[in-house]
Chains A and B, each alone.
Chain A
């Protein structure tokens, strides 16, 4: 009874699933990574082409319109600047979840009121996860794009309100599983999920974004996998669980790097503003230095580790940093970069910005590689990073970030910190690093200050 085309379609799906797995496998090394993208593209084109053969399709007009319109929107989204990658990623989580939620909704109304209990359970999971990911990701994108206030907004009983909302959505889902004919409840379930997504992101501040984006990534993948159960599509289950697994691993990494428990992350209970523990900064003495002095110290060094943070991204300083890297390397200084997992606004954010500035990737060290290097480092140059270098996380049990793994820049012979002013960072935590005897504060805009150092080095030092 099955038309031959059915087999063709299934075969394209199997090949696509294999190619998707290979795509991620090849992504493990920068050498093979681009082949991975290629594999993903071929898999996608195959699967879409196979699907278009499906005998049940009666009308191609809307398909063509949808595919063309999607491609037209997709091209500019693929060509945004590298600094806009975090918000673009959040937006794409929203789009992916939107697709899943819409398909789930259409499936519900096609089948209702005859939806078997298991089908209704996964369908509910699909649209609840999908719905909250749509609005949650839009909120995250809005905050990252600075359309929405980045400041976390908290109020009393926030977690209770959020959990209650989620509980109501789940209760409706249970009701629908038992009585799918209660179709009128369906819009409420989706509606609550959509509102929950907004409420979930309201208390999130900028520094929590790497965790949140990873978590939303995981939700988007899981909702797609649930959609695969509903449609009985193995390919979708594979792609969804790969995406879900990836988001999950990244969320765990990020929460470890911020020393938050995973339950803390799962319940979205991050972002509590930690106002306690900040002793009002009575002006403690700091040592500061001029660009000339900084340039002199850097050119006298044998080994320099640059520690970038979100401040570098905001100031767009990565290209100036590249010039500094070039000059110092030419002088025979060994320059490397130490990158904390949560530096920036999404996992791997700093690596992409530095790669964009043409810094070779073998000079980029993650935290585990960088930390053993600091005791042999002459100069650690911190550019726009704060909490991830705060030694209080190691030593001060009273500090709100106590226990968070940090980059041990304070172990370097000299630490130089480029910073606009002495204002504390995102979490409002004072950083004892700044008051150490081996720390020099370089006050100014990251891009301008690195630019001045570069001018000093290229002017004064000649071309040795």
Chain B
């Protein structure tokens, strides 16, 4: 890793953490469970690293570990988005709800 890359990465990390704190502080406790499942699903973006690892095929070990990692991350992304949406669908206001 070049030094410039490291500095850039640190900038990104710190700014993203700040945005994260500011945005997530505003999420009402009402939605804390969907918050956790959504951030979990977003975290599954690690799949891009796994895809490159498995796709480059630099060693058998890398391909095997990469493929397992793809399975783990993809199941998180798919499952995480589905359940978050299912949960959010249930939250209805009394104004929009049929009596």
Contact = CB atoms under 8 A, between A and B. Distances in A.
28 contacts: A17-B16, A20-B45, A27-B31, A37-B84, A41-B81, A43-B42, A48-B47, A51-B48, A70-B74, A78-B78, A88-B79, A92-B80, A99-B50, A102-B68, A110-B58, A220-B40, A221-B43, A241-B13, A244-B17, A355-B92, A356-B90, A358-B90, A358-B92, A358-B97, A360-B93, A360-B95, A362-B95, A366-B29
Contacts of B58: 110
Interface in A50-82: 51-52, 54, 56-60, 62-63, 65-67, 69-71, 73-80, 82
A239 interface: yes
A232 B13 CA distance: 11
A63 to B, nearest CB: 5
Interface stretch (A160-168, A344-352, A420-428, A441-449): A344-352
B82 A79 contact: yes
A242 B38 CA distance: 11
B53 A107 contact: yes
Interface of A: 13, 16-17, 20-21, 23-25, 27-31, 33-34, 36-37, 40-41, 43-44, 47-48, 51-52, 54, 56-60, 62-63, 65-67, 69-71, 73-80, 82, 85, 88-89, 92-93, 95-96, 98-100, 102-103, 105-107, 109-110, 116, 118-119, 213-214, 217, 220-221, 224-225, 227-229, 231-247, 249-250, 253, 339, 341, 346-349, 351-352, 355-356, 358, 360-364, 366
Interface residues of B, number: 84
Nearest to A232: B5
A67 B52 contact: no
A339 B45 CA distance: 33
A225 B20 CA distance: 13
Contacts of A25: 23, 26
Contact of B55 (A54, A76, A89, A217): A54
A97 B16 CA distance: 20
B2 to A, nearest CB: 9
A30 B31 contact: yes
Contacts of B30: 30, 348, 351, 361, 364, 366
Given A65-B67, A106-B62, A243 B57 contact: no
Contacts of A119: 1
B51 A224 contact: no
B71 A70 contact: yes
Contact of A106 (B25, B27, B41, B61): B61
Contact of A246 (B36, B59, B67): B36
B69 to A, nearest CB: 4
B39 A221 contact: yes
B55 A57 contact: yes
A239 B59 contact: no
Nearest to B83: A78
A53 to B, nearest CB: 11
A234 B12 CA distance: 7
Nearest to A115: B1
Contacts of A217: 36, 39-40
A408 to B, nearest CB: 18
B38 A85 contact: no
A258 B29 CA distance: 15
Given A66-B74, A92-B79, A249-B24, A229 B29 contact: no
A234 B7 CA distance: 12
Contact of A36 (B38, B43, B90): B38
Contacts of B62: 106, 109-110
B96 to A, nearest CB: 8
A385 to B, nearest CB: 16
Contacts of B47: 48, 70, 99
B61 to A, nearest CB: 6
A360 B79 CA distance: 25
A311 B70 CA distance: 38
B83 A85 contact: yes
B50 A66 contact: yes
Given A103-B49, A103-B69, A34 B28 contact: no
A225 B15 CA distance: 13
A74 B82 contact: yes
Most chain A C-beta atoms within 10 Å of own C-beta, residue among B49, B89, B97: B49
Nearest to B89: A34
Contacts of A341: 29
B48 A233 contact: yes
B74 A67 contact: yes
B70 A245 contact: no
A25 B25 CA distance: 10
Contact of A59 (B16, B55, B61, B68): B55
B76 A243 contact: no
Nearest 4 CB-CB pairings of A with B: A70-B74, A78-B82, A74-B78, A66-B70
